[in-house]
Structure 1
Amino acid sequence: MITLDKFYINGAWVAPDAPKTIPILTPSTNARVGTVSLGNAVDVDRAVAAAKTAFETFSLTTKDERLALLRKLAELTPARLGDLAAAITMEMGAPATMSRDAQADAGLGHLEAFIAALEAHDEEEILPNGDIVSREPIGVCGLITPWNWPINQIALKVIPALATGSTCVLKPSEHTPLSAQIYAELIHEAGYPAGVFNLVYGDGPSVGAALSRHPDVAMMSFTGSTRAGSAVSVDAAATIKRVTLELGGKSPNVIFADADVAAAVAGGVAECFYNTGQSCNAPTKMLVERSVYDRALSIARAAADAQAVGDPALKGDHIGPLFDQIQYERVQEMIGTGINEGSRLLAGGLGRPDNLPPALQTGWFARPTVFCDVTPDMTVWRKEIFGPVLIIAPFATEEEAIALANDTEYGLDAYLWTGNEARALRVARRLRAGGIHINGRASGYGSPFGGFKQSGNGREGGKFGLDDYLEIKVRPPFAL
C-alpha cells in the first residue's frame, strides 16, 4: 500500500498541517492502492511563502543558468519514464503502451520543446521608437492540473514557470498523486533551489481556492472543467491576478466526400476513443458529407465494434477503464440520454463491455459507443461527455459543415479531412477553434495549445507557453 503523507515545500518533504486523507483507487478494479494526504489553506500559505522568498533570487537568474537546470531535468527524466507510465496506469487507467508512449513521454517532449523555446527567447528588444522592452518573470504561479493527462499538464505549467524565472506551487489532481510525486522527485534531483517548486496535494474547494485567492500569487494556470475554471477566475478576481484556462471541448471532425473516407472515419473513431475518450480535445462530433454518410456509418460501426477494451496493465492498442465511478455514471447517464432523446444507437450502449474477465468486472469500463443521426437540439450534441462516445451527423454543403462544426460553446480543437488543399485552408480559416488537425495530422510538442470561447484562454507549449509567465516592462534608453 502506497502512502503519500508529505508535501514538497521549500525544498523538503514536510508533514501537512492537519491529518486528512483520501484513498488512491485504481480504476481497473476500483481497488485501493494507497492513501494521499490533503492540504489546507495553512499548507498553501507555507508553500506560497517559500515560493515568494525563492522568487527574490530565482527571478534574477540568467537565461543560461535556467537552461542548465532544464537540461539537467531533461537528462534525468528518461530514466523515470517507466515509473511515470506505471503510476499513470495505476492511478487513472491509461493502458501501458499509451501511458509510456504518450502520457509519460509528454513530460520529456514538452521539456525539450520549452528548452528550444527558451534558447530562442529574447529577454529584451528595442522598439522602432528606440524604447527597450524587457520580459521578466511574473512571480509566484499557482498551478492546478487534472487527472486525465497528469504529466502532460504538469509539464505544460511547471516547465514554463521554471524556464522564465518564476516560482510555483503545484496542486495536481488529488486523484492522480503518484505521477506528481515522481515529477517532484525529478525536480529536486535536478537541483532547483528550495522554494522554486512546491507541491501540495488537495482538493479544489480547499487548496485550489486558497491558491486562487492568495494575494501573493501573481497568476493562476488551471486545466479542468469549464465550471471549475469559472470558479478559479472568480476566486482570482479580487486580487486581479492573471488567469489562464484550458477547459472543456466538443471538437468537431469534418469529413468531406473527397477525403480518404475509410481512413478518415476509422481514424476519427480511434481518436475519439483514445484515452477512453477522456481528452478535452477528442473529436467527439463527426460530421460527414451526405453523399458518403451511409458508407461512413458502416465504417464507424465496424471500427467501434472492433475497439478492444481491456486491462490497462497490459501493452497494446486497447482502451482502458473510465477514471472512476463518478465518471462512469456520468457517461452512462449521457448514453441513456442519447437513447431517450432519439439518437440512433449505431454501436455500444449502456453497461460494461461483454466478456470482461472476472478481475475487471468491478472496474469502470464502458462500452465504446456511437450515435448517428444526431441533431443540434440533442443533449449529446451539446454536452461534453468525456467518455468513449462518438456522435455522427450528415451535412450537405461546405457552408453547412462549417456552421455545424462551430455550433458549440467550446472551441478547443477541430478536425478536418479533405483531398482538396484549397478547401482545407478555406475551412480551417473559418473553424472557431484553437487547433486544427488536417487529414489526421496534429501539431507537435512546442506548438501552442488552447482554445476559443468556453474552452479557455491563454496558450500552453513552446514559446507561446512562456508568454503567460512573463510580464512586459518598457524603459527609454539611458541618457544623461
Structure 2
Amino acid sequence: MTTPSPVTGDLGVARPLVDGAWLDRASLGSSEHVNPSTARGNGTVVLAGPREIDAAVAAAKAAEPEWRALSPDKRRRILQRVEELMNEHMGELARLNSLEVGAPIGVSTALVHLCAQWFGYYAGWADKIEGATIPPSPAMVAGLDYTVPEPYGVVGIILTWNGPIVSVGMKIAPALAAGNCVVVKAPDLAPFTVARFAEIALEAGLPPGVLHVLPGGPEAGDRLVRHPDVAMVSFTGGIPTARKILRAASETLKPVLTELGGKTASIVFPDADLDATAVEVARSFCNLAGQGCNLTTRMLIHRDVYDRVVEATAAAAAALRPGDPFAAGTGLGPVVNEASRERILGVIERAGKDARLVAGGHAADPASLTEEVRDGFFVEPTVFADVDPASDLAQHEVFGPVLSLIPFADEDEAVAIANGTAYGLGTALATRDSSRVQRLVPRLESGSVHVNGPSAQPPGAPFGGYKHSGVGREGGREGLYEFLQTKNVFIRI
C-alpha cells in the first residue's frame, strides 16, 4: 500500500486571536480553505470583521503602556525566545505553509528559517534604540537638545497571502522590538501559519494584549486602517489595494508603510556566466509559482548572446517540474486558486499573439502529476522571447510563473528598458565587469540591485521599492525606525 503524501493533510481551524483568547466564532462567519495543490478543502477559517478589529485595537491600546514601559532587555529576551521556538517548530510551520499556499517544502522551510532570523535580528535591536544629541548653535539660548525615538503605540499590519510567514518577520518583529502593540489582519487565503506563529509568540512570553491576529477579508482591513486608535499601518500587497488603504488612512493622517509589486529585470551581459544566470533566473520566476513581488520576471539579454541565453533559459525553466510540494524534485508548486490559474492562462494566451513562446504556455498536464495533486492549480513554467518592452506582459505583474525575454544592444538601452515600468523594486546585473556595475547602479531606479546572484535578503539589509513599488523600508535599522517616531527635547540651561 502506498503511503499518502503529506499534501493530503488537514490544517484544522484558523481562529482570530484577540487579547490572548482564540475565538471560535466571529462576525463574518467562516470559510473553507482550499488546498491549492489538491483543489480540495483542508481547513476552516473563522473570519473576523470590524467588531473583532475594534476589540483587538481596544485591547492593544490598553496593553501598550505596560509593553512600552517594559525594560528593553526583557523585550529582547522575549523576542529571542520567539526565534528559539520558531526554530524548534520549523518543520511544523513549514508544513503548514506548504499546505496553505502550495510552496515546495524546501522553500517553505527556508521562509520559516528566514522569519526566525528576523526575530533574532530585531531582538538584538530592542535594547539598542537610541536618539541623538543636537550640537548647540551659537545664535541660540544655551541648553541641551536631544532626540528620543518612541513607538507609535498601536500598529496595524496587513499581510499578503503569498508569503505571510516572511512578512511576520519583516513587520511584526521590528514593530514589537520598537515597543508597539500590534493588530494583524491575516490573509483569509493563508492564515494558518500566522495563527500558529501567534501561539508560539504567546508561549515565548509575549503578553496577551500585545499581539492580535485576525483572519479576515477587506472589511476587517478597512476597519483596521480607519480605526482612530491605530497610529500607523504597514501593508504588503497590490497597488489597487494600497490606493484604497492610503485613501482610508488619510482620514486620520496616519503614516502607511507599503511594500507593493515589482517587475524585476535581470540584465545579462556577454561576459556573465550565462548558463548559471539562466538557471538562476528560471528558479527565480518559478519561486512561489511566480507569486512574489521581487521575483525576476524580465530578462534583458545582450544581442550578442541573446539566442544562446534564450535557449538555456527555456531549458532551465522546462526542467522545473510542477508537482506535489512535499515530493523530492518538485521545482514548482501550484498557484493559489482556480481564479488565479485562469487569469494567468489568459495572460499567456494574449501574450502569445505577439511574443514567441519558447517554454510552457499551458496548465500542467494532469498525467504528469501524482494522483493526490492531479486536480491542483498548476501552470507550466512559461517563457516568452522577443517580448516588446512596452507590451502588457513586460509592463505589468503577472503574479504567475511567466518570464519575458527582451534583447538589448548597449548599456543605455538596457537601463531604459529596466527603468521603463511603473515599478522599482529590484534589478539584477549579470556581468564580471566591475566598472560596468559602478556605472549602472546609480542609473537603475530600484530599491535593490543584485549582482551575479540573488540576495539572501538578510535581516540587516533594507528592502523596499521606488516609484509604484512602495514607500518605506523593511529590514535593517531602516525597518526598525519605520515603527518609531522622533521626539525632540530641549532643556534650557
**2:195 aligned residue:** 181
Q: Distance in 1 between matches of 2:73 and 2:492?
A: 25
**1:10 aligned residue:** 19
Match of 2:209 among 195, 205, 208: 195
**1:211 aligned residue:** 224
Match of 2:466 among 449, 452, 456: 452
The answer to whether the Cα contact below 8 Å between 1:154 and 1:172 also exists between their aligned partners in 2 is no
**TM-score normalised to the size of structure 2?**
0.93
**1:253 aligned residue:** 266
How many Å apart are 1:10 and its aligned residue?
1.2
The answer to whether the Cα contact below 8 Å between 1:16 and 1:43 also exists between their aligned partners in 2 is no
Q: Distance in 2 between matches of 1:178 and 1:139?
A: 26
**2:73 aligned residue:** 64
Pair 1:191–1:118, CA change in 2 (3 A): closer
Q: Distance in 1 between matches of 2:391 and 2:181?
A: 45
Equivalences for 1:111-260 in 2 at 5 Å?
111-119=119-127, 121-129=128-136, 130-204=144-218, 206-260=219-273
Q: Deviations over 1:368-391 (max 9, x none)?
A: 110000012321011101111110
Runs of at least 4 residues off by over 4 Å? none
Equivalences for 1:278-357 in 2 at 5 Å?
278-316=291-329, 318-340=331-353, 342-353=354-365, 355-357=368-370
The answer to whether the Cα contact below 8 Å between 2:160 and 2:237 also exists between their aligned partners in 1 is yes
Q: Deviations over 1:110-141 (max 9, x none)?
A: 1122223445x332221223411000001101
Match of 2:490 among 458, 462, 476: 476
Q: Distance in 2 between matches of 1:400 and 1:426?
A: 14
How many Å apart are 1:19 and its aligned residue?
5.5
The answer to whether the Cα contact below 8 Å between 1:114 and 1:463 also exists between their aligned partners in 2 is no
How many Å apart are 1:194 and its aligned residue?
2.3
Runs of at least 5 residues in structure 2 that lack an aligned partner in the other structure: 1-9, 137-143
Q: Deviations over 1:439-478 (max 9, x none)?
A: 0041422211110111111111121111111010001136
**AA in 1 matched with 2:187:** S
Q: Distance in 2 between matches of 1:40 and 1:351?
A: 36
**TM-score normalised to the size of structure 1?**
0.96
- Length, aligned pairs only: 475
**1:34 aligned residue:** 43
| SS of the residue 1:109 aligns to | helix
**AA in 2 matched with 1:440:** G
The answer to whether the Cα contact below 8 Å between 1:5 and 1:16 also exists between their aligned partners in 2 is no
Query: Is structure 2 residue 56 aligned with structure 1 residue 86?
Result: no
The answer to which of 71-80 and 247-256 deviates more is 71-80
| SS of the residue 2:187 aligns to | coil
| SS of the residue 1:59 aligns to | helix
**1:76 aligned residue:** 85
Q: Deviations over 1:281-337 (max 9, x none)?
A: 011000001100011111112112211111012244511111111211111111011
Runs of at least 5 residues in structure 1 that lack an aligned partner in the other structure: none
**1:404 aligned residue:** 417
Q: Deviations over 1:345-392 (max 9, x none)?
A: 011112224622343221001011100000123210111011111100
The answer to whether the Cα contact below 8 Å between 2:77 and 2:123 also exists between their aligned partners in 1 is no
How many Å apart are 1:2 and its aligned residue?
4.6
CA RMSD of aligned residues (A): 1.5
Q: Distance in 1 between matches of 2:153 and 2:291?
A: 32
Q: Distance in 2 between matches of 1:115 and 1:429?
A: 33
Query: Is structure 2 residue 270 aligned with structure 1 residue 262?
Result: no
How many Å apart are 1:3 and its aligned residue?
4.2
